[in-house]
Amino acid sequence: MAKTSRIPGLYKMTIAERRSLVSEVTGVTEKEMDHALDGGGLDAETADKFVENVLGTYALPFAVALNVRVNGKDFVVPMVVEEPSVVAAASNAAKMVRTAGGFSVEADPAVMISQVQLTDVPDVAAAKKAILARKEDLIRVANEAIPGLIARGGGTIDLEVRELADASMLVVHLLVDCLDAMGANLVNGVAEYVAPRLAELAAGRMGLRILSNLADRRCIHVRCRARAADLATDDMPGEAVIDGMVNASRFAELDPYRAATHNKGIMNGVDAVVIATGNDWRAVEAGAHAYAARTGTYLPLATWRRIDTEEGAFIEGKMTLPLALGTVGGTLRVHPAARLGLKMLGTTSASELASVAASVGLASNLAAIRALASDGIQKGHMALHARSVAVAAGAHGDLVERIAAMIVEARDITLEAAKRALELLDPKGEGAIEVTEE
């Protein structure tokens, strides 16, 4: 938790000024930021311990989303993402949500599913009965594989048997509360440990023994509101924006082609937080999309409706998605920038981390469909693109915004136009940095 997640004007400051202010509100020191973030946060020697055949590292921007308030607590949220406007859009949307009370989140317990496949089962009904009759004993055996987790208060809490559309196949699910761990290693260990016993009881053979990434026992349920007045744009009143957003939600609810893009906008926010805190974003992506398709039709993870209250009209968004994240183990143990990301967030709780990541996902969705329902997405993207063109032309400080505004206004967002604008505003080159032409 941060002292506050409101830092007006952060985007206009230099990186050094930003580090100083973020340090003030999060308690992470500037020295820690210098150490963990300069040079991409990971040296080649450390990277060489992660995977095979390492040649070097590949850096991405590490930024922070502001204004995020979840269950009454403020968070300065680390985001690692290469796409322009994702961080700005999430921060803007979080600001609107904040003035309407912030994000409300409920997190399921950290229960992961460990799957054991049983094949060549001669009598599936008898096998199911035999396994369920020894449920308590099997849970006890499963827990022998994870003494550390048991000592911390987690462990296997249930066992289920599922029949599949194959008369000789069964799958056993062991449900394991992984507490603050993502849990892949724990549940894989459980599956491998208990599988021989299960195969024996089923009079069949062991098949696969692995976690399921459809972590639907570990969902985050998040909701938020934003006021019509805060949603209004220069060209559109707030109530019309609400209508457009409800329309956008209905589109995604009715069309999987749109739902995929709607969900991509959510994952823009979620993944960036997942990566910044050293978690497995492929697992999160697999789980989110499998969950979106759980009914047999691919659906939007978040939906939006108009709410009329005594205070006026609001848009209300609701989202549920599985989020298997950890605050211990894995990459966190070895990646300095991931450790810093978590420290900046100020939590050691995996469910709180997942609550924040989901909130940023819902904020990203709010921002995207608000833009799509009003000005269209290109206007904002072009403004950001214009800033990078201005920087490429050699502008810095205040000049970046001024030149970006000029080339957007002239509808000529090119390097040449930015150079001409720079020449005009700063003929002596006093405020411009030197650029070398390729």
Residues with catalytic roles: 83, 264, 280, 381
- The tally of CA atoms less than 13 A away on the side-chain side of residue 246 is 16
Compose the 257-276 pattern: x for residues touching ligand MEV by CB under 6 A, - for all others: ----xx-xx--x--------
Stretch near ligand MEV under the rule CB under 6 A, chosen from 96-104, 229-237, 320-328, 364-372? 364-372
- The residue range among 9-17, 20-28, 110-118, 256-264 that interacts with ligand MEV, by the rule CB under 6 A, is 256-264
With CB under 6 A as the contact rule, the residue among 377, 383, 384, 415 that binds ligand MEV is: 377
Q: Nearest distance from residue 372's CB to ligand MEV, in Å?
A: 6
Q: Would you say 422 and 399 are in contact if contact means Cβ atoms under 8 Å apart?
A: yes
Of residues 66 through 95, those in contact with ligand MEV by CB under 6 A are: 83
In 3-state terms, what secondary structure has residue 354?
helix
Q: Which is nearer to ligand MEV, 71 or 261 (CB)?
A: 261
Nearer to ligand MEV, 73 or 258 (CB): 258
In the chain, % helix, strand, coil (3-state, to 5) comes to 50, 20, 30
d(CA 48, CA 10): 35
DSSP track, 8-56: TTGGGS-HHHHHHHHHHHH---HHHHHHHHGGGG--HHHHHHHSSS---
Which residue shows structure tokens 């978040």? 302
- Picking from 336, 333, 339, the residue whose alpha carbon sits closest to that of residue 277 is 339
Nearer to ligand MEV, 83 or 160 (CB): 83
Give the shortest CB-101-to-ligand MEV separation in angstroms: 24
Rounded to the nearest 10 degrees, the angle between the axes of helix 350-373 and helix 377-392 is 100
d(CA 348, CA 178): 14
Which residues, 6 or more positions from 137, have their beta carbon under 8 angstroms from its beta carbon? none
Could you tell me if 379 and 411 are in contact, meaning their C-beta atoms sit under 8 angstroms apart?
no
Q: Are 6 and 94 a contacting pair, CB within 8 Å?
A: no
245 binding ligand MEV? (CB under 6 A)? no
Contact 42, 337 (CB under 8 A): yes
Among the listed ranges 108-116, 202-210, 228-236, 367-375, the one in contact with ligand MEV (CB under 6 A) is 367-375
Of the pair 223, 381, the CB lying nearest ligand MEV is at 381
Which residue number is nearest to ligand MEV in terms of Cβ?
265
Q: How many other CB atoms are found less than 10 A from the CB of residue 268? A: 23
Query: Quick check: 246 and 369 in contact, CB under 8 A?
Result: no
185 binding ligand MEV? (CB under 6 A) = no
Residue 2 or 276 with smaller CB distance to ligand MEV: 276
- Does 369 bind ligand MEV (CB under 6 A)? Our answer is yes
Angle 350-373/256-276 helices, nearest 10 degrees?
A: 140
Write phi, then psi, for 321 (nearest 5 degrees): -155, 150
Compute CA 429 distance to the chain's CA centroid, rounded to the nearest angstrom: 42
Of 268 and 351, CB closest to ligand MEV: 268
In the complex, least distance from residue 317 CB atom to ligand MEV, rounded to whole angstroms: 12
Smallest separation, CB 301 to ligand MEV (Å): 11
Cβ-contact 365, 302 below 8 angstroms: yes
CB closer to ligand MEV, 76 vs 248: 248
> Any alpha helices (H) in 100-134, and if so which ranges?
124-133
The helix/strand/coil state of 225 is strand
Pick between residue 265 and residue 341 the one whose CB is nearest to ligand MEV: 265
Contacts with ligand MEV by CB under 6 A lie at 83, 261-262, 264-265, 268, 368-369, 372, 377
